[in-house]
Amino acid sequence: MFDCHVHSTFSTDSNLDAVTACEAAIKAGLEGIAFTDHIDFDFPGYSNDFMFDFDDYQKFMNNLKLRYNSKLKVLKGVEVGIQPHVIEDSLNLISKHELDYILASVHVIDAQDLYKAEFYSNKSKKQVFSRYLEEVLNMINNYTCFDVVGHLDYIIRCCDYEDRTFRYSDYSDIFDEIFKKLIADGKGFEINTGSYRDKGDGRPVPQYDIETLKRYRQLGGEIICLGSDSHRPEHIGFKFDYFSEMLSQAGFRYTAHFENRKAVFTPL
Ligand SMILES: [Zn+2]
Ligand SMILES: [Zn+2]
């Protein structure tokens, strides 16, 4: 299996040394690892900090690929954070570079960092979750340079509700619209296993709703990547066995990763 979502020191918010991450991936029995460092234009509170130099990144990652050659497949990706007003800049920057894999993610809505309390005030859970999915739909309808939607259920990680489970049946119309668009465009989404870690903050761990996967499969969806969103070596490959089993139960026979922007399938 491949861990398709790992942050190295090229990400402003990660101190995970890339070589340490590769060693951890080998130890976890993985076949490959995709580095997906952050590019977020205009992240509130950070100006343009979630950026890195692409020339340095290319050089470093190409060397790492060679170094691990037969031991571990190292893939060079980015996670681009999309807001409506940064689409053009993101497109101009990302489309210029040779990458294996591009994740597109919603981290910010209405100029508010979803980790901050302001976004949730005066909104019900239903309004918050619906608004989040609308923004994902907006993103995939308007930003084209990506392969997979990062953490489709990101909002569960940031919110503070007693029950954080994202149920397909509560938002079926908009989930269906997202799935149909992804399938038509040959794209997919990610199960971000990092959202299902016990953070030790007293909040109950949410459950993943298998109905979401079943419906995507029913509509013809095939591309699902597993990513741990690791910023630490011990999180690499987190819960991959659990989610592989769930994918099988939902009717999938493969997980996907991307090489040179093409989906490659591995049997479950
Ligand atoms: Zn993210
Ligand atoms: Zn990430």
- Mean pLDDT in residue range 130-157: 97
pLDDT score, position 49: 74
Q: How far is the CA of 231 from the centre of ligand 2 (A)?
A: 8
- Mean pLDDT in residue range 178-187: 98
Percentage above 90 pLDDT, the chain: 92
Which spans in the chain are helix H?
Answer: 18-27, 54-68, 87-94, 125-142, 154-158, 172-184, 210-218, 240-249
Does the structure show a pLDDT above 80 at 172? yes
Which sign does the torsion angle of CA 225, 231, 236, 238 carry? Answer: negative
- Structure tokens of 58? 């290319």
- Mean pLDDT in residue range 79-95: 97
pLDDT score, position 17: 97
30-47 pLDDT, tens digit per residue, is: 999 999 999 999 999 887
Cα distances (Å, whole numbers) of residue 42 to 46, 94, 108, 114, 197: 7, 15, 10, 14, 28
pLDDT score, position 199: 84
Half-sphere exposure of 19 (CA within 13 A, CB side): 5
- Cβ(52)–Cβ(7) under 8 Å? no
- Mean pLDDT in residue range 80-94: 97
- Mean pLDDT in residue range 162-190: 97
Mean pLDDT across the chain: 96
Give the ligand with the smallest distance to the CA of 107.
1
Q: How far is the CA of 105 from the centre of ligand 1 (A)?
A: 6
Cα gap 170→158, rounded to integer Å: 19
- Mean pLDDT in residue range 130-152: 98
Cα distances (Å, whole numbers) of residue 11 to 36, 71, 114, 267: 9, 25, 18, 31
- Cβ(133)–Cβ(175) under 8 Å? yes
Q: How far is the CA of 169 from the centre of ligand 1 (A)?
A: 24
pLDDT score, position 73: 98
Q: Which residues surround ligand 2, an ion (CB under 5 A)?
A: 79, 229
Residue 6 three-state SS: strand
Does the structure show a pLDDT above 90 at 200? no
Q: How far is the CA of 230 from the centre of ligand 2 (A)?
A: 7
